[in-house]
Amino acid sequence: MNASLATLLVIDPLTLSYMVYGPCCYLCPDHLIVSHYQPVALCEVIKGGGDTALGQPIGGPLSVGTDNNDYTSMHVRLWELPDWAIDIAMAFQSCKLCGVNAGKTINIPTSNPLDLCGAAANALTGNALKAFNSALPACFPKLIYDTEFDPTWNTGCRDLSVAAMLGAVACSNPLTSSVSVWGAELCVGTNWGPLYPRQMASHNDNAAIAAGIAAYRAIHVSGFAVGSFPFNAAISVGKLQQTSPGITVGFGAGSLLLDTQMRLYPVSLEEIYTFVWWVPVVCCKSIDEIMGFCEPQMCGV
């Protein structure tokens, strides 16, 4: 488990954007201000059922029903990245980072108060996540959101409103598609079309891009509707990075730069994709942590 999770994390300097500034305070010259993007969540995009990127997939009848473009219907699991996994991915030098907890925040809900479908589903999803995480072994990543626990993911019924119609119109215009209101985005960037309805189906004929759309829709609905995503879920704040089957630099979800990189790689024959969500963080670090060698972080310590 440790090895498989760590191999799905790629800490590249461009996505990390590590910067060191002056002292944290007048009386602490040996501690400097550090800013960077922190990897916080792993997004598994799968067909469903026993499919997984964390270990050996168990394909079969539990997978999601498919159509002629079978990759257009996908499920997503969002996992909170444990610090020990990031430490392994960084060759045990993660003490230089601010850490996952530094990226936590509260997303202000943007759900329609008349959305009875979503309100009922949110309670069910929250209870299912709580029960699932309570049964996990120690040091296992925490499940933030699973579309298989959310009955609205299949139909998008929580978004069958004017927002869906506006999104379809706005995202066909290069000018309006670039407008991003924090938490009330209409489009998945400038290149990936409407965010709404936030559900499994995508009409994009590229399997990898369809997976990226599903990943960000899951981040958005878990952050601004269900309320289980503890990191900033705004498209204008975070970076989305594909880590399998191809590896990209992290850019805004649906941006031209990310879209171009993802299209350079072949699609996954297993129909399993992984992405990492990064958010900006700022903290104080000692000069020894920044310039020296770190002690390995152990699971449970």
DSSP-based three-state secondary structure for 80: strand
Strand partners, 240: 251, 277
Average pLDDT, the chain: 84
Please give the Cα distance from 159 to 153 (Å, whole number).
10
Nearest in space to 16 (alpha carbons), one of 107, 103, 139: 103
Please give the Cα distance from 212 to 172 (Å, whole number).
18
Please give the Cα distance from 132 to 235 (Å, whole number).
28
Of all residues in the chain, the percent with pLDDT exceeding 90 is: 49
For position 183, what pLDDT does the model report?
65
pLDDT tens string 144-191: 999 999 888 887 777 776 555 665 566 776 666 666 666 678 888 889
Ranges 16-30, 71-85, 162-176, 202-216: which has the least confidence: 162-176
CB 16 within 8 A of CB 22: no
**Mean pLDDT for the stretch of residues 230-252:** 95
H or E element that contains 179: none
